[in-house]
Chains A and B, each alone.
Chain A
Amino acid sequence: MTIWLTVIGAGIGCYVLKLAGLSLPPRVLEHPVVERIADLIPVALLAALVAVQVLAADASLVIDARLAGLATAFVLLLVRAPFLVVVFGAALVAALLRLWG
């Protein structure tokens, strides 16, 4: 039940953020600090999510097949592979490592 509330609540919240963007006067952005922060937030959050998803296991840091998956994703992004290839390529390498490990 909590998960349902989270899904619907955060979903509606994200919609409201979109509607606010189309409804608020554009001068909200004229403050350079607001604009800089708004621009940096996705960078900081996505980078932190990469780190935590790949290296954290409960409350400790571990190096396992996930890191090999991330390295694969890095190489695939360097050669401009499409999103799906990057994501499933990383999964494939992690799965193969576990199979042979």
Chain B
Amino acid sequence: MTTAGSDRRAVIRDSLGVGVATGLYGTSFGAVSVAAGLSVAQTCALSLVMFTGASQFALVGVLAAGGTPLASALTALLLGSRNTLYGLRIGPLLDFRGGRRVAAAQLLIDESTAMSLNRPDRTLARVGFVATGLSILVLWNLFTFLGAVAGEALGDPKTYGLDAAVGAAFLALLWPRLSDPVNRGVALAAAALALVLVPFTPAGLPVLAAGGVALLVGLLSKHEDPTEFPEAGG
């Protein structure tokens, strides 16, 4: 089966659209991160090295709330584990080997996964993955830098409500998963548990402990739960 040039162009066009939309919200990460007390350089290093939005927001959010660096790193890593899940699913479809796999791995995020799933052949899956991942990598880092510089120029984050923006960002990241009733129950239980623990545990721990709800429900529930993938452009 050959891939027609027009199919390829259509996939690239869609991928760039998702790339621009996602890359732009690097601005909010940059602003939130310097508001949390990280320097512009540390903020940019996160976008370049970690390059997975939810984990980045989690790391700076836990630090801003007074959590230890270790708790912030663990939260980021736990959230980053969903990329492993995506990789296990789309790895055989993309079939990158050797050096190309080592390079492609950095591009493995929600959006690149969404844009390579359900393609009719390997070529189109790879085109969707690389075009989406690369465009986001470039734009996310550029807009992180701009957001960080702007955030630093603004001064006290509370004046501009940037501390309130962090909760909004997490809700927006969670939103697509809330259509499932089991997920809604887990979300409510995890939020409640974290709040109950806030007065009694060091900052950062309530969030990690809430991860235990996922463990418990996963172990006890019997129902089928097919892997959820992000929607493209979400």
Q: B-contacting residues of A (Cβ < 8 Å)?
A: 2-15, 17-24, 26, 28-29, 32-33, 35-56, 58-61, 65-66, 68-70, 72-74, 77, 82-84, 86-96, 98
Contact = CB atoms under 8 A, between A and B. Distances in A.
Contact of B199 (A8, A22, A40, A60): A60
B191 to A, nearest CB: 4
Given A43-B183, A90-B161, A91-B168, A14 B52 contact: yes
A88 B28 contact: yes
Interface residues of B, number: 105
B138 interface: no
Interface string B68-86: 0110110111111111111
Interface of B (DSSP majority class): helix
B153 interface: no
A7 B215 contact: no
Given A39-B85, A45-B79, A87 B165 contact: yes
A90 B207 contact: no
Interface of B: 21-22, 24-25, 27-28, 38, 42, 45-46, 48-52, 54-55, 57-59, 61-63, 65-66, 69-70, 72-73, 75-89, 91-92, 94, 96, 101-102, 104-106, 108, 158-175, 177, 182-183, 186-195, 198-200, 203, 206-207, 210-215, 217-219, 221, 224-225, 227-228
